[in-house]
Structure 1
């Protein structure tokens, strides 16, 4: 049995009388530790001493656009200022891990992701990463030379301003009973959240990864090699880095700006090394609800800027109407929908975007779930047709467009739910894992990746 958030008790009494497993919200990992024969470096430590109150931060990204609204014309300057704002800390995390101390630098993690309930992995031990997408098909990146499918692994940190919200949700009960209310889930202005994404394909499989940062992970899920029953230390490669900021002044329609960086081997390393090769892919601050990109594919996007100088592979998986979505984010999917009475099957349909996905972050306290999935789908968890196609509303239809509205972070997508202010880690990961751990019932969303595919159970010991 894997040692995750369920402990193992040994006692000389009948099995039926054994003590109940103890749920541990602040587990560092899923209990599977790499043997010294494979790895002897530092291990991930969950940062969860969430601050209760933090002074309002400086916001140099606002200075970059003269404290006006972000636009297609000034989004590049805004994005570069946002990158610079986290640039004093992120190079240490990414490239000097032995000296990374998240708590000392004021960065924090969501609880419960060390949980694995013996099945679905949870945080691995070396870097605390978990599966983002179980498998991305090589055909999505054929133009950039990918020859095998890939799995992606992700790691999210909240700065001290954002971590106040983690304090409001989790700290009163030591992580055991979340306070999910219309006020507790809301982030303060200037909150920063970052996410690193690594892939299982090295330069021998995907040439665009030549020269990027390599992280060893203790994992089983690996679409590139076919994975394994037991975890092993495996090299993964830095592909993408996301930064989002709560900025209602610059982006009043949603309150947030999303920005994605991707690795570009053709950019020369500067004084910050590989960090200087992480190029802005684009920025998004709204869902452009006025642009029905199915009815009019040429409709301009007014709340989205894609960098024409970014490497081509970065934009290979842009979302609906070329709305921003990075290669890790699963904005192109095989979908099934009814066109009148006839079922249509479409491979690699553009059906999401950064903000579209995160705008579904909500929690219904009566049903203990997210009513709508991350991608346009007729149910949550999604139904799958013909073994691989997500059953979706027809593209461009009124039901489809529910995923592409501009809602502020305190407005839920579905009535009866509490909006999670775009925090997908809370709604899609932490709360389902909390429910599983504390009720003994596996939550319906446990084990799904970002694209609505259920990951196969893995042994973890």
Structure 2
């Protein structure tokens, strides 16, 4: 697996391993690196963690948009538009008017234990350490880029954070009941990139956010933190909706920036890339590439760059999401190496969200892999060892399971919440138990650095 692809598939789990030697501070706002006033003098990120124990049943206009029926490939566009409208009032302030953003007052909340990874200005952490130009040839990316992400839970979803973490976040309650989200729960994620419009023309006119960072694949990074402008590229909205999507209980929607879209503001120009509400297990996209997807919709009017990194068989996955990776697998006794293979999707990745309470880990990896921690192969050890695409083992990642059903027996399903299962819980476990079972996936060499594979440092 190459630098870019390890970074892509593990970027969303880029643990700041050095943080575990620091004092136990589950509600830290940031990594302790504050920009000097000479570089930045605006507001700093504040973690919102006064989780409500109760909240009224929310209005669900996305259901009304499809006449309270099932979501389908024909009405998914209306559903995605309704989701965008439902969060738009708050997200316009977050994205376009950050000086007036107050998450707690608006009823949006963050997960604990990730302060060591968060930069100070916007509370963002590395999404993908490096996505290189080979993934975006058609849209003209001229230099690699790093993505940064920020996740918020609305007050309905935050009831689950309260059940799991309580007030101290020191002794999480991990049961099937505690980890389930109420109907109508919304979780959003904003993704910004280090590639500016001169590096990637599709970003012309996008919203710029200053971040205080060291990891920047576009420039090669910095030895000490530096305030750098990043650009708004992707916005994900996921909703617990068992009525519209009864097979999984969730609908995933991804928006991408379109400089040519109508509207006056950047938020106006965020258009749906697509929606996904199941893994289409009936469609083996390897043995029958023409098999239709009936639980997945891709917007034909979305900007072309958004579709350059779709997942297996064209399943939904945004440019930030790392659904294309270099993989190694065996067919007929012969090893095959494939670059930029489509091997994931939004829901296939999140459906692996589970926690082995006894061993403090997720048993299966995010992507189809023969082990967790994953192993690598190839001439330079640069390819993820994977089940053969389309095989029975591969298809374990592309089943429809409800949020109460774990992928692996003996684990607790965390209702598609990958932040909980693959970030917050491992960070808590590493900080409080003195063990790093889950973190070996990010640091198999046992070095106290971030994301080492085969001696290669991927994220500093």
Q: Are 1:411 and 2:405 matched, yes or no?
A: yes
Task: Report what 1:38 is aligned to.
Answer: 39
Task: Report what 1:91 is aligned to.
Answer: 92
Whether the 8 Å CA contact 2:373–2:440 is kept in 1: the answer is no
Whether the 8 Å CA contact 2:129–2:458 is kept in 1: the answer is no
Task: Report what 1:233 is aligned to.
Answer: 227
Query: What are the Cα deviations for residues 337-380 of structure 1, in whole angstroms up to 9, with x where unaligned?
Result: 11122111100000000000000000000110001111111112
Whether the 8 Å CA contact 1:4–1:30 is kept in 2: the answer is no
Task: Report what 2:347 is aligned to.
Answer: 355
Secondary structure in structure 1 of the residue aligned to 2:429: helix
Task: Report what 1:216 is aligned to.
Answer: 210
Query: What are the Cα deviations for residues 402-444 of structure 1, in whole angstroms up to 9, with x where unaligned?
Result: 0000000010000000000000000111011111111233343
Task: Report what 1:316 is aligned to.
Answer: 308
TM-score computed with the length of structure 1 as normaliser:
0.91
Correspondence for 1:247 among 220, 229, 241: 241
Task: Report what 1:11 is aligned to.
Answer: none
For the residues of structure 2 that align with 1:444 and 1:64, how far apart are their CA atoms? Answer: 41
For the residues of structure 2 that align with 1:195 and 1:318, how far apart are their CA atoms? Answer: 18
Secondary structure in structure 1 of the residue aligned to 2:62: helix
Root-mean-square deviation (CA, aligned residues, Å) is 1.8
Pick closer, same or farther for the CA change 1:446–1:31 going to 2, 3 Å. farther
Q: Are 1:25 and 2:26 matched, yes or no?
A: yes
Secondary structure in structure 2 of the residue aligned to 1:89: helix
Pick closer, same or farther for the CA change 1:6–1:396 going to 2, 3 Å. closer
Secondary structure in structure 2 of the residue aligned to 1:144: coil
Correspondence for 2:196 among 194, 198, 202: 202
Pick closer, same or farther for the CA change 1:334–1:3 going to 2, 3 Å. closer
How many residues get paired?
Answer: 434
Task: Report what 1:325 is aligned to.
Answer: 317
Whether the 8 Å CA contact 1:320–1:352 is kept in 2: the answer is yes
Gaps of 5+ in 2: 1-15, 444-450
Secondary structure in structure 2 of the residue aligned to 1:316: helix
Q: Are 1:127 and 2:122 matched, yes or no?
A: yes
Task: Report what 1:18 is aligned to.
Answer: none
Within 5 A, what are the aligned runs for 1:445-456? 445=439, 448=442, 456=457
After TM superposition, give the deviation of residue 5 of structure 1 in Å: 5.8
For the residues of structure 2 that align with 1:211 and 1:132, how far apart are their CA atoms? Answer: 22
For the residues of structure 1 that align with 2:172 and 2:373, how far apart are their CA atoms? Answer: 22
Secondary structure in structure 1 of the residue aligned to 2:255: strand
Task: Report what 2:426 is aligned to.
Answer: 432
For the residues of structure 2 that align with 1:182 and 1:255, how far apart are their CA atoms? Answer: 15
For the residues of structure 2 that align with 1:35 and 1:276, how far apart are their CA atoms? Answer: 33
After TM superposition, give the deviation of residue 35 of structure 1 in Å: 1.3
Task: Report what 1:149 is aligned to.
Answer: 144
After TM superposition, give the deviation of residue 55 of structure 1 in Å: 1.1
For the residues of structure 1 that align with 2:345 and 2:243, how far apart are their CA atoms? Answer: 22
Whether the 8 Å CA contact 2:374–2:441 is kept in 1: the answer is no
Pick closer, same or farther for the CA change 1:28–1:247 going to 2, 3 Å. same
After TM superposition, give the deviation of residue 6 of structure 1 in Å: 6.4
After TM superposition, give the deviation of residue 192 of structure 1 in Å: 0.1
Gaps of 5+ in 1: 8-20, 116-121
